[in-house]
Each structure stands twice: as structure tokens, then as C-alpha cells.
Structure 1
């Protein structure tokens, strides 16, 4: 019997999940609320935070799936990404399986099956994948007096931003220090805003997305970094990451921004190419967080105040999965920031349900999304055994124990977690010519086709090319820093082995 699967959402997560489920013989139907595939990359108002001039801050190699490469700039435009996703859907027969303009209202259990309600209709499926995305419910923190703001440009989330033209000649306050806030502040400062101020609770480190000819996601999201996170003390990992960031982009205070916390983990890091140089030129002013608003006047925590015509909040997103029934929501214990799952994917009390792309992360999502999709498809298709229920419960309990703490993870940690679950993590020792690249090179999707299910005969050549595209990581000789880091890692691993 061929089992049916409903995939809710036709963004990157839904499409890659559907592709791999089809490869395992499932009968897949993709439900998309909008008139086109692409999710956030569709750019649709009220459904997407993508604006017309936006480019990715992840390189084309890491903004792709393993079966289809980009043919575009190093950092694709949003239109390039949408075109890529449409090409992906056509290539793998997903277009004809996608029901556009079909919003799923309820997903609920029906005995051992799953009920999907949409537009007054009900369909029963053997399994369901929720892939509606993590970033569509913007969160604006409470600010005293914000409701009194009278600036002509209003106060809104950066999710609603559609370009600098509406702010030409205006004094704009951008609140936040993550990607959208800094990207939009930089665009406004270069595109005709009269004055741009950024207000933030803390100063983050800012890493240029391209430095010395190398995309920064190739530098900081490596397999070595994932291994170090498992073995080295957190303070040492913190030191190493900060060292890489400072060397590539300098410290914020060197540009005239406030100093960041000495700990990169506490401060955080954002990728942006032009923000700090614009601060250095005085074209962006940095202030502490907002104390209160009164009409057009905003007073900051240091007592200073300015008048503004518009306020844009780039202050994150809440978890929002409106299609889940109350019963399913209760099992997952969904709130504004958390979903109880085993490695962001399964729950032991909800067999036949999987979530895709519903975790908070720094770095690009395409590579870990595909690995998560393969884990789901291989598990449901019988290629891999289902994780024992007790192990799933332990994973959920470990997640629950961290509630209230930051749940943001790094792209490389998510990718390696899913690669191991899918049985496709490559072993550097089996690939001596690629060993350095597998440790210190980019986590390109091609490296996860070297071993395990669906390994490809040309994967080694493809990965060597991907790794060499922006640096000499295929050179067998380690750099002095790489030797230092690898020696430290080996010593720590030996200590773990000895202790065991």
C-alpha cells in the first residue's frame, strides 16, 4: 500500500520534504496558502518579510539543495532564490503536486491517521509534515508610549518593509540588531532617508558576509565547529569564534559603535556587509534601547532623545502554527518560543507527524532543511529504524529543560545533528584528499552525498569544487590556526576517551 503524506507549506522546507518523500515512494500532496510556491521567498505582502532589494546573507553554495545548483551571484537576490525554488519544484515533479491558494485550517489526529481540513473540505492522510516556516509572526516588544507615536511613517515591523522609497527624506528609527534590522538600516542610510538611528538592547558583533574573498558562512559554520561544540569547553569555543569574527570584520567599537560583550555567545553575531562602515561614516547612529515614546519623540535608556518620522522593529518572531488542533498543540506544548520535539522534528506521542524548519537558527537553512527532510523520509520509508520512543522522550525532556534559555542554534550544529540522524555524516578519515575541506571547509550540500543513503558517485568531485570555490581548503596543509584548533580538539577527545 502506498501511504499518503500531506505537506503543509510550499517554501524551501515543504518542497525539499516533498522531494525526498516522493523518492521513498509516498503519495505526496503539498498545500500552499498563497498563489505561488516559495514561502517567504515569494515576497507577498503580509506573508513574507522579503523586500524587493534584499539579497541573501548566505552564499549560493549554502543556499541550495544537493540535487540542484545555483547559477547566480555569490549572494543571490530574493528573485534568484524564488526562481531556484520554482526550478527545483519543476525538476522533481512537485509543481503538479502542489495545491496553490489552499490554506490548511486544521491538522488533527483521526485514530491512527491524520485529518487535514481546508476550505470546508476534509481529507485523511497517513502522515503530515508541517513546513509553514518559523518566521511569519513578527514580535514587537512592549515599549511604553508606543501607541502615542505620531510620526508620518508610522511604527511597524520590518516584516512589512517593502523598500526605502517610503522613507525617503524621513528620520527613521530601526529597533533591533539582528539581520533584518541591520540590513534595512543600511539600505535606508544609502537610499535617501534623512537620518537613521539604530536602537538596541546590546551590541552584537557584526561579521561582514564576504571578507578576504571568502563568504563568512564558509568560515564559521564548519564541521570542525560542530565537533568542537561537542568536546571543547564553551569558553574555548567562544574564544575561537570571536577570534575568527574579529579577524574578518574587526570589533564594533573600532567603527564607533558601542563595544560588545567580550563573550561572543552573550553578545551574539550578525552578518552584514555595510552596517559598521556606515556607522563609522556617521550615516547610522547607534543608541541604547528605547525607554519611552511620546508623540514623535523617542527617549532612550541613556536619557537622550530624538524625534522620528518612522519606527521599524526588527525584533524577532513568535512561534505560530495556527493549523494545529488544540489537542496536537497541547501535546507539543507550543508557546511563543517553544515546540516540544525530538531534535525539532518528531514527538513520541504523535506518530505520523513531522515538523520541518521550525527551529530558530543563525546561518542559512537550506542545508539543514534538506538533511532534516532526508531523515524524515528515510525513517518513514523504512531505510532507517525509527528512534526508540524512550530516546525520543529523553530528547524532548532535554529540550524542555532548556526552556527559558536561548534556543537559537548555529547552522552547522543543526546540519550535523540531522546528518547523523539521516545516516549521511561523512567521515573525514575515509576521504583523505578531502579531509581538510570536510573539517574546515563549507558544509556544502554535496558533502552529505558522499556516504550513506543516496550517495552520489560524483559527490567527491562536486564537494572538492565547492570547497575550493572561495579558498584553498582542499590543500592538504593545514593553516597554523587550523593546526592549533585541531590539536586542541584531539587532546580534548583523547581526554574524553581516557575518562570513559
Structure 2
């Protein structure tokens, strides 16, 4: 009899994990607390941080799984197009009938060698379980003196609860934060009718436009070369190379009238946004340092300046929230608001038969690494690849624990290649000489992880070559002067 697997969450992570578990002969059942599949992409108020006019900040090529291409032509699809894509994906692999909607999991616990799932319909025991409930559902609201007394007409909300600019027409709005959602919303408000938009931030990040020379920026910065450079070059050199690409593509914030970021890209951070910096340059968005205090409708900032505002929108990140895990699992994982002890965000040696999907703090797209993580789980449990030994898992957990207290953002390319190697599907550059440049400096498209290893596809090379060249970034086998210089660095 096939082993039964409970999957908590019917977002992209839950769906792609179910697809690959099915391929390995498991019987997955998906539990979703919302009324639709898609997770964040469902757009359901209270269960999704997606607003009606939002588009992806990752390109169509990198916001897809390897078995299904998008039907749209938009480079950055709308949230409705992503939801439609996920419905097609669920239907394509027979997962729709396996999903229990409107079913919130109240508790996940161990029972013998299996896993007990308790929900409003009762309790069930499964052979294995996967937690794919999402990493970005519980907004982190920082402590600001007087925040709870703010008297602005529209109050304080999180970006998670933003549903469009209409409520803020003619209003003075303060947006807190410098990550993707904060800058997207600030630009949205400045263009679509707010009377005044002020952004307050602890530090200025570098801001990379969605396009650079007609090429989606995630095709340029999330590459396999970036992974190899991270492994063999000094951090300062990796920092320099990334900063060079980003500043060359769109300049530095101070050139637009925003504060100057830290000279180190790694210290400052980077956010992807197409229109924010030009709006700052036009004076349609004002940038302030972080908030010192709030009194009535007045917000005082660290430089002593004050703004009267009608609304505050907090784009200040998310905490890890897995309330259904029982105390024993929580203790084993040493779970807190930020950290979850696991081998490459996936397995813990003291919790055999349990896996986590999508629980790293992302920088860049999720779809490609989610699929690779799902394949690693399915292949490890199904026997297509040798599972990681207990000793290796414990060593990986210790490495993660040693990093607690340091910035936890994981770049998309680092996560993707780590999962691909674990799943045995990372292509060798030597095996694909005609694709070498694309594999090094092109996008980490999902098709390149179907070139070799389990479930390789006969048309993967043709498809990857097309996707790599689609925007002109990698159109020949000859390396550019910069690429030759970079490649020489990692060879030595």
C-alpha cells in the first residue's frame, strides 16, 4: 500500500510537493484553510497579502514550474494570471480532488512512527507530513513609541492588508519599510492619488529596476555563476560584483535624491522595483529616516523632522508563524519568530517523515527553488536519491544554528542550486558545452533542472536555450569581456 502524506497548505509549495510525491508513488492529501488554492495568490483578504492590481516582481520564466509554461505573454504576470496558472497545474496532475479546502489544521503531532493531523473534522494519522503553510502570513510590527495612540483617520495597517490605493486618495500616507511590498505600495499610492507619500526606513537599500537593458533583472542577478562565486570567492568580491551589476543597471539611490546606502550591498540590501526611485527624484515620494515617536497624527523621525499623516502602512517584514505544531515539534526545531532548525530548511534528523517547504526568508523568486525542494523531498522519501545521512543532517543543523542572530535572507539562486544538488538534478557544465554560457550566466529557469538526473526531459535543452535567450541576455556561446573576467576568478 502506498504511504499516505499529509500536506498542510495548497499554495505553490504544497501543490508542487504533492505533484512530485505522486510521481514517486505516494498518496498525498492537501489541507488548505482558505476557500481556494494558491496560498498568497488566492488574493483572499485576511489570508493573502496580494492586492488586486499587484503583478509579480519575478519574471514569467522564473515564476513557473518545469512541467507547465505560462499561457500569457506578460513578462511580469498579474496575480490573477498566477492564480489561474496554479489552478491549471493542480488540474494537470490530478491534485484538485486531493485538496480539502476550508480545513484549518489545529495540531500536527507525532503518533508512533506517523503524524497525527487534527482539524475540525476530526483527526487522521498519516505516514508522513509536509508543512507548506507559507512563510509570509504574520506581519512583524516594530515597537514605536506612541504607535498604539496614532489618531490618523485611516489608522495603521500592514502591507499584508493593503487592498489598493482608492481608500487613500487625497490622503497623507506614511509607508514604513524598504522591502518589495513597501516600495510597490508607496509607488502605487504616489501614482494613483495619495496627496502625500512619505517612506520611513531604518536603512536605505539599493533599488534594482525590474528591467535592465530590456532584460528582467532576476535573469541577471540570480545566476549559477553567483552560486559558484559565493562558494569560492571572498565575500567582499561577491559583494563588489553584485553591486557593480546593480548600480550599472539603475544607478545608486543618492543619485535620485534618496539617502546614500551603505557602500556594501550585503549590508544595505537590495529591493526590486521599477518606479520607486524616479518618483523620489520627482518629489512625489519623500524619504525619511526611521520613526522616533508618534503623537496623535504627528510622526517624528530620527532627524527631528515631523510629518502629519492620515495613515501608516507597515511593510516591516513577517514573523515565522506555525501555530499548529505541537510543543514537542516546536522544541525540537527550536522554533521562534525567525528561525527553524532544519537541514537546508527541509528536514530535521529527530523528526523523520516530516518535511518543511518554503520556510526560508526569500530574496528573489520562489517557484524554481520550491520545485527543487519538493523534488528533493520526494526523491529522498521515494528512493530515487539516497537520503542525507543523520550525521550530515545534524552537521547542517549546527551550521544553521551558528548563523542565528545574523541576517537570514537566502538568495533564490543559492537555495535553488542547494536543493538541485540534493535532488541529484544539478546539470554539469561539462556535459552541456553548447549551453555552458547560458548555464553560468543565464536565468535559473526550471527547464535547466530537467537536463539530467531523475525525471530529465528530452526537450529540456531546447527549452532552456530558448528561455535563456528570450530577452537577449544570453544569445551566443561566446562570453562577454566581463563574463570572461568573472569566470576566470572562479577558476582560480
User: Shorter-chain-normalised TM-score: which range?
Assistant: over 0.9
Deviation (angstroms), 1:472: 4.4
Q: Does 1:243 align with 2:244?
A: yes
2:345–2:356 Cα contact (<8 Å) kept: yes
1:436–1:474 Cα contact (<8 Å) kept: no
SS in 2 for 1:60: coil
1:327-367: CA deviations, max 9, x gaps? 11111110000000000000000000000000001000000
SS in 2 for 1:61: coil
- Write out aligned runs for 1:99-498 (5 A): 99-491=100-492
Residue 38 (structure 1) aligns with: 38
1:434–1:474 Cα contact (<8 Å) kept: no
Deviation (angstroms), 1:66: 0.1
Unpaired runs of 5+ in structure 2?
none
1:391-449: CA deviations, max 9, x gaps? 10010011001111111110000000000000000111111110000000000000000
Deviation (angstroms), 1:474: 4.0
SS in 2 for 1:173: strand
Residue 496 (structure 1) aligns with: none
1:151–1:309 Cα contact (<8 Å) kept: yes
2:171–2:196 Cα contact (<8 Å) kept: yes
2:442–2:473 Cα contact (<8 Å) kept: no
Deviation (angstroms), 1:156: 1.2
Residue 52 (structure 1) aligns with: 52
SS in 2 for 1:5: strand
Residue 66 (structure 2) aligns with: 66
Going from structure 1 to structure 2, the CA distance change for 1:275 and 1:104 (only over 3 Å counts) comes to: same
Unpaired runs of 5+ in structure 1?
492-500
SS in 1 for 2:418: helix
SS in 2 for 1:336: coil
TM-score (norm 2): 0.99
Whole-Å Cα distance in 2 between the matches of residues 253 and 474 of structure 1? 34
Q: Where has structure 1 moved over 4 Å in runs of 4 or more?
A: none
1:125-173: CA deviations, max 9, x gaps? 0000000000000001000001111000101111100000000000000
Whole-Å Cα distance in 1 between the matches of residues 27 and 417 of structure 2? 29
Whole-Å Cα distance in 1 between the matches of residues 168 and 110 of structure 2? 48
Whole-Å Cα distance in 1 between the matches of residues 143 and 265 of structure 2? 26
Q: CA RMSD in A?
A: 0.6
SS in 1 for 2:319: coil
1:217-267: CA deviations, max 9, x gaps? 000000000000000000000000000000111010110000011000000
1:229–1:237 Cα contact (<8 Å) kept: yes
